[in-house]
Structure 1
């Protein structure tokens, strides 16, 4: 199976202020479109192997090698064929304020002593590009799946255009009956931007499927940090205890919504429980 040129097992890196990355040296999903070649040149962190000078490379190679340097700190390998998707995401600089969010209606919030426990939201029917991975670990599956979704977003689709980034990227996880073990089958999904909802561009990758997800009522709770089998099981347990009526929700299928790149050591996430229809 094509693993999307990505391998990950956590870790840390080094970065500086003004570099377009966080202080741990991680390029986040939030920074993908806003990260430009000018920032790259100013960052001082773009050293290349074999002593090559940044000025001797074209923009796509420069960005690819910068990503590779940063990714090594997280045991993530970014392959050569990711150069074009990275270049596309970086050159289509629309700014964070214009980044499209998956639309929803907030129905209610539950708080305790000023702390948000969870929100109840209504998500409408929509088209999602989905790929199901079957890797050895959850971390590997989301990493490989995300890289392949990136290719779809960046021209490897029927219209040959950059589609635009939406947030969050979500993963559907399945558990056993007592919610203690996560299946190795993990679905990574990307919400099509509004302009492509009526006619979603078909992917070149035959493993990516365009699905229509029905309108759903979702209970969500934010959490930070890496997402792996242990943290997800813990988050499912916490959320189940907080809900007044957890039996109203699916008990073996959950969603992890990610707002930052899978390689980010301090990811911004949500756990979603889906109310039974």
Structure 2
């Protein structure tokens, strides 16, 4: 990882594990909760029939995203309607979502509870964008929406690229890890079929980077991801490690895997081992 930049490390290891999705406030899983959970409550027809209707009615999907975003002081522009519709129509199920692969090096448990894992992520291509908005949540949301556009045809091949999990956010703290910077980097791992020749983004601020092989200490946690909870999770992870001297002290990864609107969404905090 370029410790001062937006690089962490890519996928490519051996023993991948479905980990706990997304560290932003608005993500692909919000759409899934709309197209599945909310539609199933309408009582006007089968889920399949209503999902097909929603795929055609991208205006209603956009309005849902706008409603969700408003609670986080984020504006979802009209030009997000097509990317939102594409993600919805391509991701009704989870089977077509790649997970960033890794090699599991070690696990630490206590009384049957997983405390953390030590993993190795091999070098790979990631699309990343650095954001700095008025709040941490705004930085995450706006960064993810721009990555969405890249995934959904705003790229040199003009095609939908496919979703990978987790979407990661590189967060930065002060030296004593007591304060989180509003500047974040939102990053998306390119699917295996695009690793050799990554499609180039039309957005000039999205950069395709090769992230080097990196070892991380990953700790799962559930619930919301905001400035307070992330600092709390960094502190909790530091207490579990025998020593943090082997890790970077001011850059961390928040990896998210499930619907951020869910009360028990699944996330991980990653500490980065020094080379």
User: TM-score normalised to the size of structure 1?
Assistant: 0.78
Show the 5 A alignment for 1:68-107.
68-69=66-67, 71-72=69-70, 76-93=74-91, 95-107=93-105
Gaps in structure 1 of 5+ consecutive residues: 1-25, 47-54
Partner in structure 1 of residue 249 of structure 2: 251
- SS of residue matched to 2:59: helix
Partner in structure 1 of residue 172 of structure 2: 174
* Structure 1 residue corresponding to 2:188, chosen from 183, 186, 190: 190
Q: Partners in 1 of 2:193 and 2:82 — Cα distance?
A: 23
**Aligned-pair distance for 1:94?**
6.3
RMSD across aligned C-alpha pairs, in angstroms? 2.8
Partner in structure 1 of residue 123 of structure 2: 125
Q: Partners in 2 of 1:270 and 1:173 — Cα distance?
A: 13
Q: Partners in 2 of 1:138 and 1:80 — Cα distance?
A: 23
Closer, same or farther: CA 93–269 of 1 in aligned 2, 3 Å = closer
Partner in structure 2 of residue 209 of structure 1: 207
Show the 5 A alignment for 1:13-28.
none
Q: Runs (4+) of structure 1 moved beyond 6 Å?
A: none
- SS of residue matched to 1:207: coil
- Bigger CA drift: 63-72 or 239-248? 63-72
Contact residue 256 and residue 266 of structure 2 kept, 8 A? yes
Closer, same or farther: CA 261–78 of 1 in aligned 2, 3 Å = farther
- SS of residue matched to 1:98: coil
Closer, same or farther: CA 93–144 of 1 in aligned 2, 3 Å = closer
Closer, same or farther: CA 167–261 of 1 in aligned 2, 3 Å = same
**Aligned-pair distance for 1:78?**
2.8
Residue 110, structure 1, aligned to residue 108, structure 2: yes
- 1:94-149 CA distance string (max 9 Å, x none): 62123100010111110111111101111010100000011122111111101111
Closer, same or farther: CA 90–110 of 1 in aligned 2, 3 Å = same
Closer, same or farther: CA 45–168 of 1 in aligned 2, 3 Å = farther
Contact residue 74 and residue 138 of structure 2 kept, 8 A? no
Gaps in structure 2 of 5+ consecutive residues: 1-24, 45-52
Q: How many residues align?
A: 243
**Aligned-pair distance for 1:202?**
0.7
